[in-house]
Amino acid sequence: MDEREQLVLERGTYGIPCVIGKVLDIIGTKWTFLIIRDLLVEETMRFSELLKSLEGISPKTLSLRLKELEDQGIVSRTIYAEVPPRVEYTITEKGKRLEPIFIELKRFGLTL
């Protein structure tokens, strides 16, 4: 097995979690992957735009998922001092590093 395969197939042992599992804990929750997808496409979106784009998500869930992504440094939140207040969410450089994964998942999905 080459080094690349070893990295992909590594499992957590003796209480040390698998790094793939750690990533899935962050981006694998319901709606999170789709939020990241939309921000990779648009780069910056308002809360209302994300809510409209993600048909079926509740405002509470969207707010929670965005907060989680912000805490992980995948999304940044910018508040503008306007009336009414404007808040925008932007994919960060760290978040953009997920793009090749999304591309490969799309390619894989096209083969199903």
Q: What is the DSSP letter of 72?
A: T
Whole-number pLDDT of residue 6: 60
Residue reference for tokens 């042992």: 13
Minimum mean pLDDT among 9-13, 33-37, 40-44, 99-103: which range? 9-13
Look at residues 91, 65, 60 and name the one whose alpha carbon lies nearest to residue 76: 91
Q: Is the per-residue pLDDT at 12 higher than 70?
A: no
Q: Which domains does the chain have, with CATH numbers?
A: 3-110 (1.10.10.10)
pLDDT (0 to 100) of residue 69: 98
Mean pLDDT for 84-106 is 95
| Cα-Cα end-to-end distance for the chain | 27
pLDDT digits (tens, 9 = 90+) for 32-75: 999 999 999 999 999 999 999 999 999 999 999 999 999 999 99
pTM of the model: 0.82
Dihedral of alpha carbons 6, 9, 15, 20, sign: positive
In DSSP notation, 24-38 reads: HHHH-STTHHHHHHH
